[in-house]
A and B are shown apart, each in its own frame.
Chain A
Amino acid sequence: MARAELMDFDEALELFEPVLGFEVHVELNTKTKMFCGCANEFGSGANTNTCPTCLGLPGGLPQVNKKAIESSIRLGLALGCEIAEHSRFARKNYFYPDTAKNFQTSQYDDPICHDGSITIELESGRLVTVEIERAHMEDDAGKLTHMGGATGRIQGADYSLVDYNRGGVPLVEIVTQMIEGAEHDAPEIGKTYVAAIREIAKALGVSNARMEEGNVRCDANVSLRVRGSNVLGTRTETKNVNSLRSVERAVRYEIQRQAAVLHAGGTITQETRHWHEDTGMTSAGRPKSDADDYRYFPEPDLLPMAPSREWVDELRLTLPEAPAARRKRLQAVWGFVNLEFQDVVNSDLLDAVEATVAAGASAQAARKWWTGEIARLANAAGVVADSLVTPVQLAALIELVEAGTLTDRLARQVLEGVIAGEGTPAEVVDSRGLAVVSDDGALIAAIDAALLGQPDVLAKIRDGKVQAAGAVIGAVMKAMRGQADAARVRELVLERAATIE
């Protein structure tokens, strides 16, 4: 594959205005396929979930999965779409070995959802409203493995193998209107938009929304318009962009590649391009010309759909709070600064922190444990953090710390016990004998009071000026009427200073 000439991104933006469009496929997590009762599951043995209908054998007759329609309508509603009063399926005819029927059952002129929009927020705070043209239903293709040849890619392969387990799995394809005015934000808009769709699908529970398993896939359309012109440039459609980072990179790459071609006096071919994750480049696929001649016609084996307004209203009531609104609300309620909140969001721990707070813990303590010690242990074990402990267990642990029964150091040992399945935090404290001795309990109460009574000293200790602790130690010794070990007090003052809220 020849390395294409690329123009510097900023230079490209000076000469051209990028125009974007995205097609995002969301794979639904129904139990069965779109038109037959074969299981919709990832990772089964090859060709174990097939039947005459999804293999396109003679006599196969499709039947629409009601749950898939319901999920599509809910997804459409969450994207602010109108739900069509009349909708039907159409055949999209083409020959490709991953499509056993020789057509894809899709929707053409009567999509189930149309005319929506979502507003996304970029890191700069810029708000961008992306208009949704339509969201339609279709069935997925099988999985191809290309064998032989030097690269394992379709180019140069000797033959290919097909597993039809995925063939017929329900998809919703969400198509945006043209996005203009993206400017330098174009790559970030791509990434943020796809992230927003993924987040919405996940919040609705209609998809597993795991990009690494292909549950959310993006095709990115990019064209460049010469500055000052009102003529749109020719667009390319980059397929196979299956991670958020790749969406960003692919958009940036196409802007730089097309700018170089146009600036050198060349022309852009309207074509599909393949994104290669390993090299960070796109390469030409088949030109769009005759492949676009799909001869759509209404699917004769399926009846039209007319979702009643009552059903649509019922489904509207099942929509969860919009993820973006929920994030804003939680950050405000919890009083987290942006960095703290992003840490929670990026670690996918929003649900865990929310549930821990609901179980009685303070938001700051919940955040600190989830993104700190628990995330560290999960990382070391190669599992996700919220699989290690439950929010209720963590809330109980935090309560023991705040009651002075445990120091942070002891709490970490209790946490290990809980993770090892030794019981609730209280049970682990008992069985391992980890509680702070009762004298320490009184001592810690006195230390906390002294620290909170001298916030300037507390700040100094936290800045690393440990000699400032002397003032607190003095106050504690006085409160304890001298009946405390000064070395132990000093140790505890430093420990509490690091954790007290």
Chain B
Amino acid sequence: MSEITAEQVAHLAYLARIDLSPLEITNLTHDLGQIVDSIAKVSEVATADTPATSHPMPLTNVFREDVVVPSLTVEQALSGAPDRAGDKFRVPAILDEE
């Protein structure tokens, strides 16, 4: 069985800023455990000479030339912003008062 604990799920939820109820944490702990166990089966067939894969496509070195293309206008860039001040995005205070 996997070693995923409810504490780990709660911690991850905090890091990802996702508000989970106790019931959701219980369910996710179970689900994530199953997922980890299933994926662990891969290691049963992958031998030491099988390199770890991070991408399904057998491609490397896909590059773009260093050529400028038009950007969004300032209005377009800011159109989805919840708040703005002039041409800048406006965000709430980052740190609490010390």
- A interacts with B: yes
Stretch touching chain A among B23-31, B36-44, B87-95: B87-95
Q: Are B74 and A47 in contact (CB under 8 A)?
A: yes
Q: Are A31 and B15 in contact (CB under 8 A)?
A: no
Question: Is B97 an interface residue, CB under 8 A from the partner?
Answer: yes
Digitize B55-97: 1 where CB-to-A-CB distance is under 8 Å, 0 elsewhere: 1010111111111110110100110100001111111111101
Instruction: Classify the secondary structure of B's interface with A.
Output: loop
Q: Are B74 and A307 in contact (CB under 8 A)?
A: no
A40-96 interface (Cβ within 8 A of B): 45-52, 55, 57, 63-69, 88, 93, 95-96
Count of inter-chain pairs, beta carbons less than 8 A: 132
Pick the residue among B61, B64, B88 that contacts A307 (CB under 8 A).
Answer: B61
Residues of B within 8 A of A181 (CB): none
Q: Are A64 and B60 in contact (CB under 8 A)?
A: no
Pick the residue among B15, B55, B65, B91 that contacts A303 (CB under 8 A).
Answer: B55
Known contacts A39-B71, A47-B78, A298-B54; A155 and B62 CB within 8 A of each other: no
CA distance A37 to B87 in the complex (A): 21
Residues of A within 8 A of B12 (CB): 295
Known contacts A57-B80, A300-B55; A37 and B64 CB within 8 A of each other: yes
CA distance A199 to B43 in the complex (A): 47
CA distance A50 to B77 in the complex (A): 7
Residues of A within 8 A of B80 (CB): 57
Known contacts A298-B55, A303-B59; A97 and B94 CB within 8 A of each other: yes
Pick the residue among A47, A69, A146 that contacts B87 (CB under 8 A).
Answer: A47
CA distance A210 to B74 in the complex (A): 27
Stretch touching chain B among A160-168, A228-236, A325-333, A389-397: A160-168
Question: Is B49 an interface residue, CB under 8 A from the partner?
Answer: no
Residues of A within 8 A of B74 (CB): 45-48
Known contacts A37-B67, A65-B63; A159 and B92 CB within 8 A of each other: yes
Question: Is A30 an interface residue, CB under 8 A from the partner?
Answer: yes
Residue among B64, B66, B68, B80 facing the most chain A CB atoms (10 A cut-off): B66
Identify the A interface with B (CB < 8 A): 30-32, 36-39, 45-52, 55, 57, 63-69, 88, 93, 95-97, 144-147, 154-164, 290, 293, 295, 298, 300, 303-307
Q: List 20 A-B contacts (CB under 8 A).
A: A31-B66, A32-B68, A36-B69, A37-B64, A45-B87, A46-B74, A47-B77, A50-B71, A51-B69, A63-B63, A65-B64, A96-B94, A158-B93, A160-B93, A162-B88, A162-B90, A164-B89, A303-B60, A303-B61, A306-B61
17 other A-B residue contacts (CB within 8 Å) besides A47-B88, A304-B54? A37-B69, A39-B68, A47-B87, A55-B72, A57-B80, A63-B63, A64-B62, A64-B64, A93-B15, A95-B17, A154-B94, A160-B90, A161-B90, A293-B15, A303-B62, A304-B55, A307-B61
